[in-house]
Amino acid sequence: MSASHIKVPQGGVMPAKLVEGKEATDVSAYVADAIGKKAGASAGGGPSGTAKANAQNVVEIPTDPTGQLAYKFKNASAKAGKVTVQSKNDASVPHDIALQGGPAGKVVSGGATSTFTANLKPGSYTFYCTVPGHEQAGMKGTLTVR
């Protein structure tokens, strides 16, 4: 975690700036590790399959509806050109979807959808959640553009 303190606690449970510096990094790493193990041990076995773009080159990569730090898919595919990525989040835990080095959708919760559109060339791109600690907990995947 690059921030020196936890700026915005999720869900309002933990007071802001409760821990700072290395302690904030350690807490973030612990939470990411703990959540990652829980997600892998779930009855569904975690994300699977590949999200594929529809005829309009829109890829839907919803978040885990139970609030775990995961998308329903670890992989997605689309055609080169204008690609729209949508991530519906039915949970109360806030999430978004973004491309590393590229655009990001809004942070949403409670049934809203995070969306971005980008003009993409063939290749592999990492999509992830920009909410602090979520990517580190495994909330990321690969978008393959052909």
CA-CA-CA-CA torsion for 44, 49, 134, 10, nearest 10 degrees?
A: -60
Using CA atoms, how far apart are residues 103 and 1, in angstroms rounded to an integer? 20
Characterise 59 by phi-psi region: left (phi > 0), alpha (psi -120 to 50), beta (else).
Answer: beta
Q: What is the DSSP string of 107-143?
A: -B-TTEEEEEEEEE-SEEEEEE--STTTTTTT-EEEE
50-145 CATH fold? Immunoglobulin-like (2.60.40)
Residue 84's nearest CA partner among 112, 63, 55 is 55
Half-sphere exposure of 61 (CA within 13 A, CB side): 38
pLDDT tens digits along 118-143: 999 999 999 999 999 999 999 999 99
pLDDT tens digits along 53-107: 999 999 999 999 888 899 999 999 999 999 999 999 999 999 999 999 999 999 9
Residues comprising the chain, all counted: 146
